[in-house]
């Protein structure tokens, strides 16, 4: 996995980005709008970073656990909000079922994308929302990414893992709502 030092360099930058970056605001508002249509429940925010989206979802009435492997990010999240609980962890370490899972702009940063999604497909009772920016958006590659997806490779991966998927796009992001585990839990 590539060294992810954004939080050491920039601090809790998502908190300011929501006010100052129209693309990030659009992304967070899309997540808010999506989850506003769902029944409240427990939510796991995988790769929660500095906790901004966890905070927003907590304010909406979800019981949020934010996890990240970056100790600086978790420290920042804990200092910024009490609307969610935060732990240094990976999805593979979560054992209890949860209503919803959010994997927002994280999948492209992990070495085992299929493994992460397989865990999500088994843990989420109601569904998993995954988002990324694909190379089809025409943006330069992110040096922090393990891989770049095309729209097709991203949707193919989701179809491989989840039993049911719904794909929607709000430029430059692509979102997938996945439910159930495909292939009896085996990912090829």
Report the candidate in 122, 1, 12, 17 with the shortest Cα–Cα distance to residue 66: 12
Per cent of the chain over pLDDT 70 is 95
Strand pairing class (124-133; 63-68): unpaired
Report the candidate in 84, 133, 83 with the shortest Cα–Cα distance to residue 104: 133
pLDDT tens per residue, range 50-93: 999 999 999 999 999 999 999 999 999 999 999 999 999 999 99
Residue 42 backbone dihedrals phi, psi, to 5 degrees: -80, 145
Q: Which CATH number fits domain 6-33+40-185: 2.40.10.340, 1.10.1240.10, 3.30.70.1450, 3.40.50.150?
A: 3.40.50.150
State how far Cα 16 lies from the chain centre: 19
Q: What is the pLDDT of residue 185?
A: 47
Say what the pTM is. Answer: 0.94
């Amino acid at each position: 996995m590539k060294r992810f030092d954004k939080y050491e360099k920039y601090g809790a930058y998502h908190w300011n980005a929501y006010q100052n970056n129209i693309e990030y605001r659009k992304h967070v508002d899309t997540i808010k709008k999506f989850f506003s249509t769902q029944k409240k429940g427990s939510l796991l925010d995988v790769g929660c970073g500095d906790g901004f989206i966890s905070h927003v979802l907590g304010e909406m009435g979800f019981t949020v656990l934010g996890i990240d492997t970056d100790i600086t990010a978790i420290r920042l999240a804990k200092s910024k909000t009490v609307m969610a609980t935060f732990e240094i962890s990976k999805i593979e370490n979560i054992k209890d079922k949860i209503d919803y899972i959010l994997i927002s702009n994280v999948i492209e940063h992990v070495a085992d994308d299929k493994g992460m999604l397989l865990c999500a497909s088994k843990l989420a009772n109601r569904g998993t929302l995954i988002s990324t920016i694909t190379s089809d958006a025409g943006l330069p590659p992110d040096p922090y990414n393990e891989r770049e997806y095309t729209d097709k490779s991203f949707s193919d991966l989701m179809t491989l893992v989840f039993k049911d998927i719904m794909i929607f796009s709000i430029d430059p992001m692509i979102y997938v709502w996945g439910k159930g585990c495909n292939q009896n839990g085996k990912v090829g």
